[in-house]
Structures are given as C-alpha cells and as structure tokens.
Amino acid sequence: MRIGVVTFPGSLDDTDAARAVRYAGAEPVSLWHSDRDLRGVDAVVLPGGFSYGDYLRCGAIARFSPVMGELIPAARAGLPVLGICNGFQILCEAHLLPGALTRNAGLRFIHADVRLAVTDARTPWTAGYSAGQVLNVPVKNGEGAFVADEATLDELERTGRVVVRYADGAPNGSARDIAGICNAEGNVVGLMPHPEHAIDPLTGPSADGLGFFTSIVAAFAGAGLGARA
Amino acid sequence: MSGEDTIEVAGGTPETAQPFKELGLTEDEYQKIRDILGRRPTAAELALYSVMWSEHCSYKSSKVHLRNLAPTADQSQYLLAGIGANAGVVDIGQGYAVTFKIESHNHPSFVEPHQGAATGIGGIVRDILAMGARPIAVMDALRFGPADAHDTARVLPGVVSGISFYGNCLGLPNIGGELAFDASYAGNPLVNALCVGLMRHDDLKAAVATGLGNKVILFGSRTGPDGVGGASVLASATFGDDGGKSAKRPSVQVGDPFMEKLLVECCLELYAADLVEGIQDLGAAGVACATTELAAGGDGGMFVDMDAIPLRDPNLTPAEILMSESQERMMAVVKPKRVDAFLAICRKWDVEATVIGEVTGDGLLTMTWRGGTVVKIPPQTAADGPVYQRPYARPDTLDALQVAGPEGLHRPADGAALRDTLLRLLGSPGLADKRWVTQQYDSLVRGNTVLAMPEDGGLLRVAEETGLGIALATDGNGRYCTLDPYQGTQLMLAEAYRNVAMTGAVPVAVTNCLNFGSPEDPAVMWQLAEAIRGLADGCKHLGIPVTGGNVSLYNQTGATAIHPTPVIGVLGVHEDVRRRPGAGFTVDGAQVVLLGTTRDEFGGSAWADVVHQHLGGRPPAVDLDAERKLASLVVAAATEGLLASAHDLSDGGLAIALAEACLRGGRGVVVSLHGDQFTELFSESAGRAVVSVIPGREVEFGALAEEHDVPATVLGVAFGDTLTVGDTFQIPLPELERVWIGTLPAIFG
C-alpha cells in the first residue's frame, strides 16, 4: 500500500508521519504542496506543523494549495485521508470536515500526553481499535480547541462521527471533549492529538498511535475501503 | 552620485565630526580606525567597524583569556572543526558528525522578552545551519529574578512563549535546559539557547569567500530597520537605571520562524546539490559581519553592490543596511555557473535570493551605493578587532564571603523538621516541577527524542538502524561561581558531564556560554578569567575539548552585576539509545544505590538559599577523577543493562534526587541512611548519583562499581507509594507531587 504524506511549507511532522506509515508496513510517498498530483497513492496523511506559518488562520492558506485542489475531490470520492493537528485544521478549512480549531483555552501552546478514548472504531483509520479503547497519545498545539455550532455538534454525536475524545477532559477547551471527528462517509478523519508520535515507547509515550496506520493498511488489504461499515 | 559619505568625500573632509561614541566606540578605537584607513571612515565604514569591534562580536575583553581554552581541543580525536568556526564539529562515529553551540540573548530578552528569546533561538539555529548541518534540537538555559518578583511575571512568560513560538514553529524538539531564579538576575535575566545539528562528515561547510569571480548571494528575509546596532548599542553596554527598556526597543529584532523553516530546508537542499562554496549566517551585525567574515576568511577580497540588497524600507542608509539585524538571512558564495541552479532551489522554497557581489582579488572589502564607494577596507582589520588586556583583581569582598560559611545556620534535627525541609526545597521555584515551561515546548517533533526535560540530559536517536545517539546537558550555578568562579565552573562542567553520563552516553565535547557583568569592573574580569581558567583546566583533566562558545558581558544594571554564570554544555555519544536508563524509579523491588561520597558541604547550597537566604563559604569540592570514574561506571552499567534508573545528585542533594526519581517513575522508595541524616539528605557534594539496579543484577553491579573504584552504598529499595527515610519520616507520593507541581502554576497562572 502507498500512503501519501503532504509537505506544505511549514509542515513539521511530515517525517514522523512517514515513519509511522513505514512502521505500519506501507510505503510512504512524499507529496509536494505545489504539485497538482497525488501520485496514485491509496491514502493520504496531512501532517502536523505550521503550514504557511499559520498566517491568516491555521490551515487557511494550505487549503488553497495546488495539491489540495487534487485532494479535495479525491477525498469526496472516497480516498482515505487522515489529518493530524495542522492537517485537521486544513481539513476543516477545506470543508471536508465541519467545525474549526481555535486558540487553546489558557492561550498557551500545550504539549502533554493525554488519554484518548476511541469512540468510533468503524472508520478505516480506527478499525483496528475497539470502541471504548483508551490510548496514550501526545497533544501539542496552540490552536486545538474544536468548535462548531450546537446543531453540528449534536449531529456529529448522533451520527457517531466523533472518532476520539479526551478521556480526562479536554486540555484545550475543545467542545464536548472532542479530539477528532470524521466525515459522513468515514474516510476523512481529523484529530488534534498526534498518533504518529506514539508508535514506539522509545520515542513517545506508547505505541498506541500505530493503530491508526495499521488500521488503514488492514482496511486496504481487506475489501470495502471507502465504504462505511 | 548622491550626497552619501563616500570614501572620496571622507578623504576630503578629515575634520568632519563623527558619532563614534554613540555607536559604542572609544576615542582610541576611533583613532585606530583612522590609522588603518589613512583617512576618516565613511559613515558606513564607521557603522561596520562599530559593530564588528563591539564586545559582542569581537570578544575584545575576553579574547586573551579564551585563548586558554584552545589547547583543550588538541587532545581530542573527536574534533573535526573547533573554536573559531561558527560552531565546533564532533565526530560521533558511523560517518556522522554533530555540531553544537550555546549562545546568549540576554539583553534583548529583557527589553522585549518574547521577540528577544525567539530570535535567540533563530540565531543559534542559523549558526548550526551555517556549518552544513541539519539542526535537530534546541535547549534553553534560563535565569530570572525571584519567581514572585513583579518583573519576572513580565519577563518569564514572554521568554518562554518566545522560545515556544519560534522553536515549535521551526519543528525543532526542545529537549532540555535549565530554569533558575535568583535576585541577581532581576534586572538582567539570562536567556541562553543551545542548538545541535547533525551532518555526514563530508557535509562540513566553511565561512569563507574564495574563488575569484564567485558570486555572493544574500538570501532569506529582506533587510529592514529592525535590530540596528543590536550587537553594539544593546548587547555591549550595561542597562541604565531606567532599565533601558524604552530607548533600546528598536534594537531588538523581530523573528519569523516560518521564514527560518523555509531557509533551513532551502539551505539543506542547496548543500545536498553541492551548490555552495562558502556560507555564513547573518546574526549579530548583519551584512557587516557576514561580508567581513566571509572576506576575511577567504583568500581574496569581496565587492558588494549595496543597491542590490533587497530592502523592506527603501529609506535605509548604507550604515543602517550594514548594521541591521533583520532575522532569517544567510549569505553564500557560489560559483558563477551554479548561480542559476542555486536561485532555482531558492524559488522552490519561496526564499528571495539576490546576487549582491562577487569575490575579488584585491584583498579588500569594497561596497558601492548609488554610484559611490562607501566602504573600502582591509576586511581582516574589522574581523579581528582590538584585543584588551583589561585589569582584573580578586574582589576584596570575597574573603569575607568565603569566611561567612553555612556552618552556623540552624539545621533541622528531628524527622518532622527534615520532612518539612524536603518539602520546602521541593516546592521552591528553582527545584519545583518545570512543566509550566516545558509543556509549552514540543519535545517530540522529528521523532527521535528518547529523553527530554525533566530527565538529567536530553537524548536523541541519530541512526534508527543502530541506535546511535547523542546526549546533551547544560548546567550553571551562579551561587557556586560567586563563592569561587574557578571551582564553581569546574563544578558545572562536572555536573553537565555527569548528567550526560546518566543517560548512558560517553561525554565527548564541551560548549559554554559565559554570562558576566561589565568587563570594565576588575572584579568581574577576575571572575571571568578564573571561570575560563577553571574550564580549561577541567576540560584538560577530563580529556574533552571545548569546541566553541559565546561570551555575554555587561549583564549588569548600574553598578550591580549578575552572579558570574558560566553555563556549560556537554555533548555525549550514545552507542545504543535503547539502553538508556531514565531518571525515575520504574521497577518495583529494584535496589537503590548511592554512588560517590557525601561530605558536609552546604556552601552555596539550595538549602542555604531557600531556608536561610544565605550565600557564603566555599562551594562543594571538585574531584574530576571521581567524576570520570562515576561516569564510566554508569555508562558501563547501562551498556550491560544493569540499571533500571540513574539520576545525578545536584541542587538539594539526595533528598531532592530521591523525590524526583519517585515522581518521575511514579513509584516510592524506602531508604535508610547512616550518619547524620541532614547531611546525608541535603549535602550537595559533587560526583554523586542515585541508581536503581535491575533485580537479580545487584552482585554484578556491585562488582562493577568496585572495579571502577566508585563508592557504592545500598540505600534501600524502590517500591510502594511513599518516600520513606528509615524511621525518620515518610511522605506519600501524592503529597510530594502536590508540593512539587503546584509552585510555578500558582505564580504564573
């Protein structure tokens, strides 16, 4: 399986995302922001960082980059996409996911290990987990508070599209302790915590995050990728 | 031809009064410039010499003493480039080399904490980049006035947010450092930033302009009016009694980490394509320094067309363009046939790049502006600068200070008082949990961080296949160094050396940031000379070289200087990072062993400070042979897989080390101490560590300790959920934790 990792100017966790893809047994493929080309990959990770310096708003400029011009219709057509941190912000700016990420409550950058409850294990990115499983994964961001109007939040919860939740309460003021969500089809997942930094206890708090990457590899090996269970 | 002050104009108007004093030059220095040029300098030349000859750039007060550090390099088989280059380069094996350096940004960080600290990170990162290395991590050693002082509430959060903002946006993990508080830093906080970079042996780059006809390219941000004279007017003068905050703000630069990130990736791609003959970062003294040093380092001269320099403000004068410290700029020397390829890579990264000149054969640095020649100097004369043999004398107050030792201070006697003392120390701002700060730093990015703050040293994986890694620690202690700068500096060298060894790494090289008051005060000069002598002797003894460093003087407000504060950074090589012991007790039933010898040593201690606000006597004794034995024991034991944990003893002694190991590992400990309980718990004797041994390996470890000639005392066992000291006292971990984590959030919100 070939999984693309997009590098925007200011992407920082792209090498980490590529390493996680490799640990999961897939081939990471580097995608460049100004290329209108997805190079035939089977899935895409939008990594963390400060694309375009977070100018204007986090993700607001990246969303208009040439590679996103290819990615947005492909995601709408079912291509699995995982947005981590800045990648989640970009997915929201691109309207592939609802809501927005705003400044942390407390107004400071927060880096901490958090307990993350998997609430939707049906997406191709989380199918390897069991619902209710708790992961130990780091967050690190300045603008990680998920916000949306009440109707959207209700809709997300009613349709089971909250993928991961902060098990001990959101450290950043996220609405309803939401840490990650997916689109209606389940192929596009965005989350603020960094599963790619929890793939090996040597360099992270655990290996719990590797499941996001092994899940997509398993989903690809099986059938029905892109179709929601 | 404009009305600018060209060399022709200068030649014809020798009597024109020039503002050399305002630019920080003395009468003698000004005369020397006139002698060198055989005429008065132009306004642009005066600006250039003033920044190049500033204390910050020229090291004119410290140079005669720093020469003592050079011989430490001769003894090292590890060194690929040493003092004098932008940063030293150390061979770490398997074809890899590492370059690292620590630098101060003290003055700007007081005037404008956020930008001052941010650009401190930016500057040191470019230093490392200019060596041909990919920057892979940063560290920060921070010192502020009392935590509860009014101004600390302005300076500390700003400094931390600046480091967080810049380092995080650059994608560099922050793997450690220091946070200390003392009244002596109230008007002169210390912000020292370290960066470490990684390269292959062949990647080493030089800051030289060679090759007649080669092009000089300025790339990165445009030049603006920010930071004009930062090196001379700001960093090389004391603050007046108003703190200088308002008047000096325009001398502080403004950072854009996004631009720096692009510059880093752009440079690395340029290096990989072999398009660069010589490279220099633009830091203090901007274009003046980069052109002068490149030209002085080369074999020819350099011509610069200043009209080609892209400006943010078209009204800048040549003098301002030369002195501007606008951030995120680099200068490269490129062969003409490679210029197009160079510019193409810059375009890919959206980095503006402009050919501004070329290497010439006349041995001169020449610059033109609007048709006239505004600079024509022998570059070496600006690069070398004056050398001062400033008078120095042992402070006459030192005898009285050393006599007024801690012996008479009231000591806690019973269990309850010892328990209270431990909690009081643990909750003091200097020893309390630093998470308020470190939670604002990304320590994980790039995915190779094995250990980071609050561990003893930062540990990075370099090679995924073999586990090869590097460890880094920085240490400083102004209180010890006030009592004895020679011994105090050696204690800091020993502590950083020990901290690196605690990760299982072999210490191989040293960097330093020497923070002192005004060199015009003979007492301060004596402290500086003694500190350098101590460092040189210590490094010779330990057999590790000083690979570079930085001197920050004039950390002084009015007549009051900071404690002399050399911050020593030590780099270690780790054969396999998977075999690193952490600082915390993580294994139930692991035997806890104290390594080293405890003496009654409380001069300059955390206990004397926190409980008695006392500073006097002598700092703890230094025994570098014992330090070397301890380090090799811990490295050998870690390699053999005998250790569950290893943690060095420093501020607050065994009591604080045990508490930290419990809190870090989430596991209690039961120990019994022989001898005087207070001394055993709180003495700060150097050369000690507390380790816990993998169950079943105790005999092996005991034999290894004996073999290495390191005194080993079995204290007890790690288990449970209390810190228990014999029958003396017991503290439940939740209580310990509450005291430890509550302090900084209570002060800083």
The yes-or-no verdict on residue B249 having pLDDT over 50 is no
Q: Does B491 touch chain A (CB under 8 A)?
A: no
Q: A229: buried, middle or exposed (CB in 10 Å: 19+, 13-18, 0-12)?
A: exposed
Query: How many residue pairs from chains A and B have C-beta atoms closer than 8 A?
Result: 84
pLDDT above 70 as % of chain A: 97
The pLDDT score that the predictor gives to residue B232 is 62
Q: Which residue of B has its CA nearest to A138?
A: B444
Report whether A61 contacts A169 (CB < 8 A): no
Which residues from chain A sit within 8 angstroms of residue B444, using beta carbons?
A: 16, 111, 138, 140, 194, 197, 203-204
pLDDT digits (tens, 9 = 90+) for B272-330: 999 999 999 998 889 999 999 999 988 889 999 999 999 999 999 999 999 998 999 99
The answer to whether residues B608 and B481 touch, using CB atoms and an 8 Å cutoff, is no
Whether A31 has a pLDDT exceeding 90, the answer reads yes
Look at residue B204 in the predicted model and tell me its pLDDT. Answer: 80
Residues 187-216 of A with CB under 8 A from B: 194, 196-197, 202-204
The domains located in chain B, with CATH, are 1-67+206-385 (3.90.650.10)
Chain B: nearest CA to A120, how far in angstroms? 27
pLDDT of residue B81: 67
| Other CB atoms within 10 A of residue B730 CB | 15
Please give the residue of chain B at the shortest CA–CA distance from A47: B445
| Identity of residue B200 | R
| Helical pair B257-272 and B152-170, crossing angle rounded to 10 deg | 40
Residue B245 scores a pLDDT above 50: no
A52 contacts on B by Cβ (under 8 Å): 258
The reply to whether residue B262 touches residue A110, judged by beta carbons under 8 angstroms, is: no
- Positions of E strands within A79-220: 81-84, 100-102, 110-118, 134-141, 145-147, 162-166, 178-182, 188-191
- The average pLDDT across B592-601 equals 98
In which band, very low, low, confident or very high, does the pLDDT at B230 lie, cut at 50, 70 and 90?
Answer: low
Which residues in B409-456 belong to E strands, given as ranges?
Answer: 449-451
Given this model, what pLDDT does residue A121 score? 84
Percent of chain A whose predicted confidence (pLDDT) is above 90: 92
Counting beta carbons within 10 angstroms of the beta carbon of residue A6, is it exposed (0 to 12), middle (13 to 18) or buried (19 or more)? buried
**Which among B161, B439, B447 has CB closest to A111?**
B439
Q: Is B327 annotated as a binding residue?
A: yes
Contact A109 B448 (CB under 8 A): no
Q: Where are the beta strands (DSSP E) in B259-388?
A: 278-281, 301-305, 329-334, 353-360, 365-369, 372-377
Q: Please compute, for residue A136, the number of CA atoms within 13 A of its CA located in the half-sphere on the CB side.
A: 7
Whether the CB of B257 is below 8 Å from some CB of chain A: the reply is yes
Question: Would the CB atoms of B447 and A55 count as touching at under 8 Å?
Answer: no
Give mean pLDDT, residues B507-526: 96
* Mean pLDDT score of chain A: 95
Identity of the residue in B169, B439, B447 whose CB atom sits nearest the CB atom of A112: B439
- Provide the pLDDT for residue B206: 77
Q: Do A140 and B168 touch (CB under 8 A)?
A: yes
Which of A112, A142, A203 has its CB closest to that of B448?
A: A203
* A68/chain B closest Cα distance in angstroms: 18
The mean per-residue pLDDT over the stretch B703-723 comes to: 98
Is B241 flagged in the annotation as binding?
no
**Average pLDDT rounded to a whole number, residues B231-236:** 61
- Cβ atoms of B525 and B483 within 8 Å: the answer is no
Give the pLDDT confidence of B393-445 residue by residue, as tens digits. 999 999 999 999 999 999 999 999 999 999 999 999 999 999 999 999 999 99
For the stretch B11-34, pLDDT in tens is 999 999 999 999 999 999 999 999
pLDDT of residue B86: 60
Interface probe with A: pick from B121, B172, B258, B327, most Cβ of A within 10 Å: B258
In this predicted structure, the answer to whether residue A78 has a pLDDT above a threshold of 70 is: yes
Which residues of A does the annotation mark as catalytic? 85, 194, 196
B445 and A16: CB-CB below 8 Å?
Answer: yes
Q: What is the Cα–Cα distance from B304 to B530, expressed in whole angstroms? A: 42
What does the longest C-alpha to C-alpha distance in chain A come to?
45
Question: What is the average per-residue pLDDT within A54-80?
Answer: 94
Q: What is the mean pLDDT of residues B36-41?
A: 97
Mean pLDDT of chain B: 93
Q: Which pair of tokens denotes residue A123?
A: 């997406």
Beta carbons within 8 Å of B9's beta carbon, 6+ residues apart: B42, B372
- Compute the average pLDDT of residues B236-256: 59
Chain B residues whose CB is inside 8 A of the A194 CB are 444
Q: Which of B259, B444, B462, B580 is the best mutation test for A, with the most CBs of A within 10 A?
A: B444
Is A203's CB within 8 Å of B578's CB? no
Catalytic residue among B105, B114, B574, B708: B105
Q: How many CB atoms lie within 10 A of CB B217?
A: 24
In the chain, the amino acid numbered B162 is G
Nearest CB to A202: which of B442, B445, B578? B578
Is there a contact between A194 and B578 if contact means CB atoms under 8 Å apart?
A: no
Residue A75 near residue A187 (C-beta atoms within 8 A): yes
Beta strands in chain A (DSSP E): 2-7, 27-32, 43-46, 81-84, 100-102, 110-118, 134-141, 145-147, 162-166, 178-182, 188-191
Share above pLDDT 70 across residues of chain B, in percent, rounded to a whole number: 95
> Does B209 or B545 have the greater pLDDT score?
B545
Question: pLDDT (tens digit, 9 = 90+) per residue, B94-143?
Answer: 999 999 999 999 999 999 999 999 999 999 999 999 999 999 999 999 99
Query: Which residues of chain A does B350 touch, with a Cβ-Cβ cutoff of 8 Å?
Result: 9
Give the nearest partner residue to A111 out of B171, B257, B441, using CB atoms. B441
Residue type, A157: E
Range scoring the smallest mean pLDDT among B227-231, B373-377, B432-436, B738-742: B227-231
Determine phi and psi for B612, rounding to 5 degrees: -120, 0
Is B258's CB within 8 Å of A111's CB?
A: no
Judge whether residue B83 has pLDDT over 90.
no
Q: What is the pLDDT of residue B251?
A: 63
CA distance B741 to chain A (A): 14
Which has more pLDDT, B227 or B648? B648
Residue with tokens 């903002």: B165
On whether the CB atoms of residues A85 and A189 are closer than 8 A, the answer is no
**Active-site annotation holds for B114:** no
Q: Residue A121 phi/psi, 5° resolution?
A: -100, 20
For residue B85, pLDDT over 60 is answered with no
- Kindly determine whether residue A109 and residue B446, on different chains, have CB atoms separated by under 8 Å: no
Chain A CB contacts of B438 under 8 Å are: 111
pLDDT score of A228:
42
Give the pLDDT score at B741.
Answer: 97
> What integer pLDDT is reported at residue B236 of this predicted model?
61
Instruction: Work out the average pLDDT over A27-45.
Output: 97
Q: Do A13 and B440 touch (CB under 8 A)?
A: no
Q: Are B261 and A13 a contacting pair at CB < 8 A?
A: no
- Residue B284's pLDDT is 81
Q: How far apart are CA A187 and CA A209, in angstroms?
A: 18
